[in-house]
Amino acid sequence: DGETSVSEEVEHKIVGIEPGAGATAATDDALEAYDSLEGWEHETSSTAAMLTSLGDAYEAEEPIIVVGWSPHYKFAKWDLKYLEDPKGAYGGAEQITTLAHKGFKEENPGAYQILENIGWDISTLEELMLQAQDASIEEVAQTWIDENQDKVDEWIADAPEGDGSSVELAMTPWDSERLTGNMAKLALEQKGYDVSLTQVDPAIMFEAVAEGDADATLAAWLPKTHGSFYEEHKDSLVKVNEAIDGAKIGLAVPTYMEDTNSIEDLEP
């Protein structure tokens, strides 16, 4: 009928994020799983570049398809929706899980006990991610700890003093993980633990905790996003806590793309 389809308008391209992200691997899986995505290109770059492309397209009310996830401020800043994923390429609800090296509980039972207690509602984290648009992650983390001492006390009160024992935490480079990593660090430090926080890609993070180069992480998205990393290393890892419930990954589009609601609405 001569009309340009959404798939043509976006030039059969998915705007992706970092090559090492779990959501990137899931998107490659989706390209394999869906006939509707045959011949599509998955362009990886960075979260910042994806957000710039999304903001520009949104401003111009042009169609765009991005690799998305929650919690993230993009859903508060713009009206976006996830595309339905009937084949489950992106999994379902995820828990952002705290993992430790298998020997860590015995090595440092006090720090382990505190990590078992630390968790947040997803709405709290979303609010903090919005605040982090206008302030540094470290500032937002410090302010939340200062204003929620009752919560921090629940986490640390019953645990033994750290007496300067070291806790090496690993995290990934995304805002949600930098926030939870920094807040956990501050809570552990209040009890006298000496905490280091290192930022690495997911593959390195899993390897570091599995090999004991890091003690623990609050940044494992399971069961799907980092599922293959977890499977590879699970014999050396312990699930300490599900610190955040209700996370999600998938393909996201602006809601003004009214007729595009499922990955199966796209065309080769």
- What is the distance of C-alpha 159 from the center of its chain? 28
Distance CA 250, CA 30 (A): 10
Taking the least distance from each CB to ligand PBE, the nearer of 81 and 191 is 81
Name residue, tokens 């939340």: 144
Smallest gap from residue 72 Cβ to ligand PBE (A): 7
Query: In degrees rounded to 5, what are phi and psi of residue 67?
Result: -80, 120
Q: Which is nearest to 189 in space by CA: 167, 205, 207, 211?
A: 167
Which CB, 185 or 191, lies closer to ligand PBE? 185
Binding site for ligand PBE (CB under 6 A): 17, 21-23, 69, 172, 174, 176-177, 202, 221, 225, 249
Residue 116 identity: E
Give the nearer residue to ligand PBE in terms of CB position, either 91 or 162: 91
Tell me whether residue 225 or residue 260 sits nearer to ligand PBE (CB atom).
225
123 vs 149, beta carbon nearer ligand PBE: 123
Q: Whole-number minimum distance, CB 224 to ligand PBE, in Å?
A: 10
What is 151-181 written as a DSSP string?
Answer: HHHHHHTTSPP-TT-EEEEEE-SSHHHHHHH
User: Residue 226 Cβ, how far from ligand PBE at the closest point, in Å?
Assistant: 6
Count of C-beta atoms within a 10 Å radius of residue 79? 10
Shortest Å distance, C-beta 17 to ligand PBE: 6
Q: How far is the CB of 21 from ligand PBE (least distance, A)?
A: 4
Least Cβ distance, residue 81 to ligand PBE (angstroms):
17
48 or 157: whose CB is closer to ligand PBE? 48
DSSP 263: G
Q: If you count DSSP H runs as helices and E runs as strands, how many of each does the chain have, helices first?
A: 12, 9
